[in-house]
A and B are shown apart, each in its own frame.
Chain A
Amino acid sequence: MSEQKFLNHKGPTVNDKNKSSAEQYWRANLRLILGCLIVWALVSYGFAILLRPFLVGITVGGTDLGFWFAQQGSILTFIALIFFYSWRMNKLDQKFNVHED
């Protein structure tokens, strides 16, 4: 029952083979999210806050690398992460044929 409905009522009826491919798609998505969130946490909570004392040796314009990450570096990384995620997800959508028409 559920495997016949999983794609939404507007989508085509699917068989077991498609179901496992859908599971693969979702797992690939979760892996990608996890990877991106690790980088997200590393630049903000890591470099900018908790690891800042370990980065004091690296100077950037009158202060240290941790300060730069706190006020600029993390924001630039966030932008790069979202575009990277969107680009990879579009590829996954195509690969698993779940993209919109």
Chain B
Amino acid sequence: MSQFAINLIFVGGSFALYIAIAIWARAASTKEFYVAGSGVNPVINGMATAADWMSAASFISMAGLIAAGGYANSTYLMGWTGGYVLLAMLLAPYLRKFGKFTVPQFIGDRFYSSGARMVAVICLIIASITYVIGQMTGAGVAFSRFLEVSSTTGLMIAAVVVFVYAVLGGMKGITYTQVAQYVVLIIAYTIPAIFISLQLTGNPIPPLGLFSEHTQSGVALLSKLDSVVRELGFQDYTADVSNKLNMVLFTLSLMIGTAGLPHVIIRFFTVPKVADARWSAGWALVFIAALYLSAPAVAAMARLNLLTTIYPDGTAQSAIAYEDRPEWIKNWEKTKLIQFVDKNQDGRIQLYNDVPAFKEVAESRGWAGNEMTVNNDILVLANPEIANLPMWVVGLIAAGGLAAALSTAAGLLLAISSAVSHDLIKGLIRPDISDRGELIAARISMAVSIVIATWLGIKPPGFAAQVVALAFGIAAASIFPALMLGIFSKRVNSKGAVAGMLAGLISTLVYIFLYLGWFFIPDTASFANTPDNWLLGISPLSFGAVGAIINFIVAIAVSSMTEKPPQEIQDLVESVRYPKGAGAAVGH
């Protein structure tokens, strides 16, 4: 059977499973649609949260970025897990006690103002659409490879599938579908990792394999990798970074962004009790860690395998001849995500770091420039093929990658459509809209979001995980401070919250757009996105943390100069602090 047929069986089979579960456990009422009857066990809820949370960024893109950046990109690992500590302690239990469905509802009620609710809706929509661009990028890469088409065609196919998937709608709200998606996703990620860890280190547990001995050379795996990349002019894999400020801010931005993203927060409404909201955050992180502890092992091992493929007799010997390249390189060349130019006309693939410091060595070896570019986003998907794993493992990773991308994209589109139809139109503009009208508005906003995200995804402002990191920066700068101040301060009032959210959102967006293009439209950036141009060396990916600090300062300063919130609001803040009398989550 061909690889193509096996991919179709795995992808088709997993989708059939999700749809079957969705039909079996169909939501009986609107309330169940949103909060699954408030009766979900914290362990199951944690697993569903993990599926919701881990998207194309975690599954497809992250290990590739770590492979390319080494230690410096550990920020993704810490940033996308550390946020759960903040969620469990600073937000989840109190928002569960508050007991409404959506984040804009909390902000609107706590800051007793429809203006605050409107600003929260806008922040939510901007962060979510940016997030969807990242998902489309990742899903596009996956489709282009498995259907053997160009990456742009892959993106178009992804757009159609995501739209159909999201319009099927309630499926997303059903916790058990997400549990199935989690199981598919984690098996798909772990099995190739185990195989590769066994091949390279003899240790079947990838996180332990990462710090074990490389069987073939007898030295530690990471030492081996360091020496291989060094001989090709790259920085050591484990090398420290000089710009610590940027690394701290980037990690902080991802952490507080995690705690500010509405589609994650909403999951904590689905547990029966306040105490369960805390446990649930812990269980979510356990299930997320199952992937996040393997990811750095996948990254290091894939980088080593890739370079060993190109230099089969060691980096000191000549590179592989283009004629003899393995099948997976040929396959990925079709997607144009791997490109080869024989600059020195010797028929071999010289892959190295083409920097001035390495020029002398390169010239002495007769190299005339780096000849192969490999897109970071393909690494996880190509990983089983690079390691010569069986065809069914390749099919499995296709199913896992698409489950990750499509489930999160669909969840975000639902969050956008409910923000537009429920919070914006029904809540603020036309309260008398019919249910049917609300549904039509929801569908239209979904379609518009997909068109925008797909169009911007053709030439995305970065790799999938980087685009998603921008979404986190936006959520960090706008939503998290408003939620946290809403719970921990009785003094912050509506004027302060609105001014803070706008200051955080606008400063962060402007900084991002200056370097990555206005509204992410390609070729409209005001400055080249290089470290020399950044303000104090702060990358646009890291600026969300600065935006959040601006938000906190503005909100507190404006509140202290204006009137106290009314007594009933202070009582509301008091009441969310104590678990007693939480009851079930209610609609608006």
Contacts and interface: CB of A to CB of B under 8 A. Distances in A.
Task: Say whether A and B bind each other.
Answer: yes
Interface of A: 1-2, 5-11, 22, 25-26, 29, 33, 36-37, 40, 44-45, 48-50, 52-53, 60-64, 66-68, 70-72, 74-76, 78-79, 81-83, 85-86, 89-90, 93, 97-101
B293 A75 contact: yes
B449 interface: no
A6 to B, nearest CB: 4
A82 B282 contact: yes
A79 B581 contact: no
A67 B322 CA distance: 36
B88 A8 contact: no
Contact of A89 (B244, B251, B278): B278
Contacts of A5: 571, 574-575
B74 A70 contact: yes
B327 interface: no
Interface stretch (B19-27, B217-225, B362-370): B217-225
Given A11-B581, A40-B85, 19 more contacts: A6-B575, A7-B578, A10-B583, A33-B90, A44-B82, A45-B251, A49-B251, A62-B222, A62-B238, A63-B211, A67-B71, A68-B211, A70-B74, A72-B210, A72-B296, A76-B289, A79-B282, A89-B93, A99-B275
Nearest to B89: A33
Interface string B233-251: 0000010100010011001
Contact of A79 (B207, B226, B286): B286
Given A40-B82, A100-B582, A86 B574 contact: no
Which 4 pairs show the lowest CB-CB distances between chains A and B? A62-B220, A61-B211, A70-B74, A62-B222
B486 to A, nearest CB: 15
Residue in A1, A48, A64, A97 whose Cβ sees the most chain B Cβ within 10 Å: A48
Contact of B71 (A2, A45, A70): A70
A89 B212 contact: no
B292 interface: yes
Nearest to A61: B211
Nearest to A71: B296
B580 A8 contact: yes
Contact of B207 (A7, A37, A45, A72): A72
Output the residue of B71, B89, B224, B289 with the most chain A CB within 10 A: B89
A79 B583 contact: no
Interface residues of B, number: 56
Given A33-B89, A44-B78, A67-B238, A82 B570 contact: no
Interface string B529-557: 00000000000000000000000000000
B226 to A, nearest CB: 8
Nearest to B222: A62
Interface in B258-288: 273-275, 278-279, 281-282, 285-286
Contacts of B278: 82, 85-86, 89-90
A22 B570 contact: no
Interface in B451-465: none
B579 interface: yes
A35 to B, nearest CB: 10
B579 A63 contact: no
11 contacts: A44-B78, A49-B247, A61-B220, A64-B238, A71-B71, A72-B207, A75-B77, A86-B281, A86-B282, A99-B275, A99-B580
Interface string B395-408: 00000000000000
A79 B248 contact: no
B293 A49 contact: no
A66 B226 CA distance: 16
Contact of B81 (A6, A10, A78, A90): A78
A74 to B, nearest CB: 5
A63 B223 CA distance: 7
A12 B91 CA distance: 25
B510 to A, nearest CB: 26
Interface centre among A26, A62, A74, A101 (most CB of B within 10 A): A62
Interface in B349-377: none
A36 B84 CA distance: 12
Interface in B72-100: 74, 77-78, 81-82, 84-85, 88-90, 93, 97
B464 to A, nearest CB: 20
Which of A5, A81, A100 has the most chain B CB atoms closer than 10 A to its own CB?
A100
Contact of B248 (A49, A68, A81): A49
B117 to A, nearest CB: 22
Contacts of B273: 100
Contacts of B207: 72
B577 interface: yes
A89 B89 CA distance: 10
Nearest to B79: A44
B317 interface: no
Contact of A93 (B77, B252, B282, B579): B579
B567 interface: yes
Contacts of A25: 578
Contacts of B238: 62-64, 67
Contacts of B575: 5-9, 11
A67 B240 CA distance: 9
Contacts of B244: 49-50
A97 B579 CA distance: 10
A52 B481 CA distance: 29
A64 B278 CA distance: 33
A5, A33, A75, A97 — most chain B CB neighbours (10 Å): A75
Contacts of A36: 85, 89
A50 B581 contact: no
Nearest to A34: B89
Interface string B309-350: 000000000000000000000000000000000000000000
B210 A71 contact: yes
Contacts of B223: 62-63
B571 A6 contact: yes
Contacts of B289: 75-76, 79
Interface string B561-588: 0000001001100110111111100000
A61 B226 CA distance: 13
Contact of B78 (A6, A48, A68): A48
A61 B206 CA distance: 13
